[in-house]
Amino acid sequence: MHLACLGVIWVGWSPVAVIAAVVLYFVRMFAITGFYHRYFSHRSFKTSRPVQFAFAAIGAASVQRGPIWWAAHHRHHHAATEQPEDPHSPAHHGLFWSHTGWFLSREHFATRSKRVRDLMRYPELRFLDRFDIVIPVLLAVGLYFGGQWLETHRPGLGTNGAQMLVWGFFISTVLLYHGTFTINSLAHRWGTRRYETRDDSRNNWLLALITLGEGWHNNHHHYPASAKQGFYWWEFDPTYYALRFMSWLGLVWDLRPVPPGRRESTPALPSARGGGS
């Protein structure tokens, strides 16, 4: 997929192709952060079965496997965080492994179904897990033929099928992939620590920007059950804002807050390993 991004050398760019890439990045990032992570992994709010499936499908378009697989590995990460059993701890396995190596390894390909029995009862989610490549292929095909249609019927836009495929699918997906996995790697190495947790999680405002609020990672490890990861008003958390908007529409409900007593807990030292931030 990374090599396919080099296709931009031949297909060039157009405003519509770049806009498609940006929109698909943020829509799929929200599906990952809001639903794969805060909903499927941590059950930090409730929703209906149709909405659950819709965002599971959008998340599957991110090429990060199915929602059950994703939640199972993330729950395992929290259960064994920064321990040798942690699937992506940079402290034990190195930065490259925590960023991408674990995801590509054979040992982490299977779904740890015992950790996600609550999700296994939905056949539509099991389908997405088993055939997780279907949605990305449909998206790629749709972008290609959509670009071909625009080339024929809206030539003034200056795009075509190959260009929409490269920008809207390959470039957007690769950026999304690395954006998501910076939380596994960089957010356990660089940033500040507000809370004394048993891991080396950090708050990093830059990562929060590119991941729609996931960069407040020390907050998250301090209280994973909250739908809100930016604990204070100045901590930018677009995923939570979107979930609040969806709650006003009745699409989600019972968003779990951060209890005031937990938010005001004793601050941490600069690093769980005793180093700087």
Per-residue pLDDT of the chain in tens (277 residues, 90 and over written 9):
899 999 999 999 999 999 999 999 999 999 999 999 999 999 999 999 999 999 999 999 999 999 999 999 999 999 888 888 888 888 887 888 899 998 888 888 888 888 999 999 999 999 999 999 999 999 999 999 999 999 999 999 999 999 999 999 999 999 999 999 999 999 999 999 999 998 999 999 999 999 999 999 999 999 999 999 999 999 999 999 999 999 999 999 999 999 888 888 766 544 433 333 2
What is the reported pLDDT for 274? 33
**Bridging pattern class, strands 252-253 and 46-47:** antiparallel
**The total number of structural domains that make up the chain:** 1
Dihedral (CA of 49, 29, 258, 249) sign: negative
Asked if residue 269 belongs to a domain, the reply is no
The upper half-sphere exposure of residue 241, i.e. CA atoms within 13 Å in the direction of its Cβ, equals: 10
Asked if residue 272 belongs to a domain, the reply is no
- Per-residue b/e over 116-133, b at no fewer than 16 CB within 10 Å? beebbebeebbbbbeebe
Asked if residue 148 belongs to a domain, the reply is yes
Asked if residue 277 belongs to a domain, the reply is no
pTM above 0.75, yes or no: yes
Residue range of the domain that includes 22 = 3-263
Asked if residue 268 belongs to a domain, the reply is no
Helix 15-30 to helix 172-185 angle (10° resolution) is: 40
Asked if residue 68 belongs to a domain, the reply is yes
Asked if residue 273 belongs to a domain, the reply is no
How does DSSP classify residue 4? Answer: G
How does DSSP classify residue 141? Answer: H
What is the reported pLDDT for 265? 73
Q: Residue type at 17?
A: A
Phi and psi, residue 20, nearest 5°: -60, -40
How far apart, in whole angstroms, are the C-alpha atoms of residue 134 and residue 207? 29
- Per-residue b/e over 59-87, b at no fewer than 16 CB within 10 Å? bbbbbbbbbbbbbbbbbbbeeebbeeebb
Asked if residue 47 belongs to a domain, the reply is yes
